[in-house]
Structures are given as C-alpha cells and as structure tokens.
A and B are shown apart, each in its own frame.
Chain A
C-alpha cells in the first residue's frame, strides 16, 4: 500500500490497557438482575476483572484517556471523511455479491438506515405511529439525525464526544433548514444528559464499539427510552463464543487489539453479549442479526477512496491519528473474512 512509508514512524499506542477483555465493570456497578449473574460467562469475566484489579491497580482515569482519544480522533478525522464520503459515517448496506462504484455508496448508507428501521419493525406505513422524539447516541456529524428527522417530521438530539463533530452537525442542520428540529450536544453516551423516558426512538448507529462499559451503555439507552419506544443498535461485534469457549483465541485477541489501538476502541463483545444485556433489563421483542454479508464492499471501497489522489493528499494533510486509523483498515477486511468481526444489528422495545 502506498502509505507503507509512514509505518516507519513509530505510533505511540494510546493505552495498552484499553483493549483488555474486561469490558464488564466490577460487580458493584452491575445494574441488572441476578438472572444474568447466574451465567458462568459473567462469573468468569467478573472474577477475572477483580483478579486483575487486585494484581494491577487500575490506570487512573482509563476511560477518560479513551474518551479523550475518541474525541481527538473524530475532531481530526471527521472533516476528511465528510469531504470524501459525505455526512453519513457508517457502513452501506449492499445486496450480497454486488459490485458497487463510489457513487452508489451514499445510497447504500441510506439503505442501511432504512433496513435498520425495517428490521426493528418501525411501522413505516402508519404516520400516527412514527417516532416524534429521537435521540442519536454517538451521532457523528449528524447524518442519521437529519435523515430521521426529515423522514418522520420528528425532533432529534444527537450526542457526541467530539466538539468538532457537534459544531459541524449543527452547521449542516442549519444549512438544511433543520435547525429547529435537530440539535447536537457534546455529551457521554454512558451518562446521557437527559431525564428518563424522553425518546420514542433511541438510535445508536456504529457507536457501540466505542463504549468501554457495554452494560452502562445499554442501560442508558433503556433509561432514556420512553415506554413503548424502539431501541436500535447497529455495531461491530466479535463472533459469538462457542458453548465451550471462555474467550476468543489468542490470535483473535491480538488481531482485535491492533484495531482497538487504531480506532480508539475498548474491548469488543459479541452480539450474544448485547442480547444478554438487553434481556437483563427486561426489554421486549429482542432481535439480532449478522449483517456482515451486507457490508462486505464497504472497507475495500474506503481503502480505494483513501488511495485516490484526493484521499492521499487529504490523509497526508490530516494527522497521525487519522493516518493510523487508515492503516488499520485492511485489518477490518481480514477480520470479516476470518469470521472474527461481525457487523451486527440488535433491536428491541421498551415495555409500555
């Protein structure tokens, strides 16, 4: 790859502890019922977490370092992404085995939103049942919020850790005449600045992978959901563990860690882990599916765009974080090919 010359620069790994296996916090933070804690998977992981905590005193403000890294990564990279790919910072949805050109990708990204709504059984034909208040958790530069607001005539608020993204998202809303319906704030998905039960659609499109505490992330999604609301999570997961497996294989852990370092991701979990978390919160109609076959053309297309003249010149003008992220892209393709990485959708409903 043409950028290999830059690999001679030694990139400082932000935090080697970030991608540890222990994404569940010590027991005292777990908000959910004993039906989950009875599973051996939780016992193993939380026992290991406590053991590690005893042996290695936690790095001070580890999550703070991660959050800062995420904010800076997106502060630096969002502009270049938007310049080449537009305002949707998520995968496109492609018919399997299709060949697509760059001009099809925006349509594919819209299709991803529409397919997600369909999968979640949002009653698209009945206007009276459309969501009226939407929250976009990990909103990027607001592509989903603006699209959903226009589609449903709803208000939407988005939250992001990146001040640059919030600024850009608001500016785009204003330029599209949507500023009275859509607004963006800097806030943490793990502590959403909203009171309980405010939103009838809770939307998380490819932000879950950044959340260091999956249990807290999911419980916040449930908290801000109104009775009867729909929760839609589209996120990167690792493959479900087999019945005899306690963890991924060493090569799989190593592979994911490289991606974590480049994209400011904490430890990955599986789709099954998300389903268990939603079950523990007594959410209903829980559905999940592996959409990896439908996103296959995406990373090759992103790489091609990075290697274009526009892509290369933009990258070289961007910064080390963006370049490091770009260099990790082949790892995503490899991860999908080896059935390690899964592109997952998980949806559910909050009881009335």
Chain B
C-alpha cells in the first residue's frame, strides 16, 4: 500500500466521527523505485491531505518532507523528488492501519489493506 492510497482511506466504524487519518503500524516497508512524473505530482498535490501525509510518511521511516507546504514548492526539483518518493515509492507490505478513535486495527498483508468491518462495527 502506497501513501497515495493511505491518504484516501478512512475508518467508517459505526459511531466514529473522525476516522481519518488512519495511524500506520509498519512491520515491513519496501522501497520500489518508480519513474517520476512531475505533471502527475502537481495534480496530486492539490488532492493530498498534507498533514496526514507527512505523519504517515514518518511512520514508514521517511522524515524528509516539510511540515508546511505551498504550491510554490512544486517548482523545486528537490521537493518534487521527496514528494514523489514518499507518495509512490514507499510500500507498506505488512502491518496495520489503526482507527484514530477506536484503536481498531485493519491488517495490511502482502501490501493489501483489509478494510472489512465486523458485524458489530456496522
């Protein structure tokens, strides 16, 4: 699971008011290089919830992202390559995504999060 995906996922357990962002428990993180596409990154920049993204990146072992950003930074190659690395090249292979309110763990196995709710969470 990449951080691009993590930035979209949320806990919808019954009664939870704020299920985003999910905390990451990383057991196995793998780096897989992928070609950078600056246009794609610029488009994604609009959509990414930045604070959640930086925190998630830290949980995956990468702390090189700035805490605060503005669109001017998209001109910097240095920033783009860090953004690219954190967004697309870090994979959570094994671990869990944790609901921020209830602490419920959604397991991640072989890179795939299992977001199925139990009967009593619906």
Give A residues with C-beta under 8 Å from B: 61, 64, 67, 132-133, 153, 155, 157, 159, 161, 163, 166-167, 170, 179-181, 183-188, 190-195, 198
Contact = CB atoms under 8 A, between A and B. Distances in A.
B40 A180 contact: yes
A198 B19 CA distance: 14
Interface in B45-102: 47, 88
Interface of B: 1-2, 4-5, 8-12, 19-20, 34, 37, 40, 43-44, 47, 88, 106, 109-117, 119, 122
B112 A185 contact: yes
Contacts of B12: 191-194
A33 B4 CA distance: 36
A38 B9 CA distance: 37
Contacts of A166: 112
Contact of B119 (A64, A179, A193): A64
A164 to B, nearest CB: 10
A180 B88 contact: yes
B4 A185 contact: no
Contacts of A64: 119
B5 A183 contact: yes
Contacts of A184: 112
A148 B57 CA distance: 28
B19 A195 contact: yes
B119 A183 contact: no
A188 B34 contact: no
Contacts of A185: 1, 5, 9, 112-115
A29 to B, nearest CB: 10
A170 B112 contact: yes
A70 B106 CA distance: 20
Contacts of B8: 157, 194, 198
Given A183-B5, A195-B10, A170 B114 contact: no
A192 B117 CA distance: 10
Nearest to B13: A191
Contacts of B11: 193
Contacts of B40: 153, 180-181
B19 A186 contact: no
B56 to A, nearest CB: 15
B46 to A, nearest CB: 9
Given A180-B88, A194-B9, A186 B116 contact: yes
Q: Rank and list the top 7 A-B pairs by shortest CB-CB distance, nearest first.
A: A193-B115, A187-B115, A195-B10, A186-B114, A183-B5, A180-B88, A166-B112
Nearest to A60: B119
Contacts of B44: 155
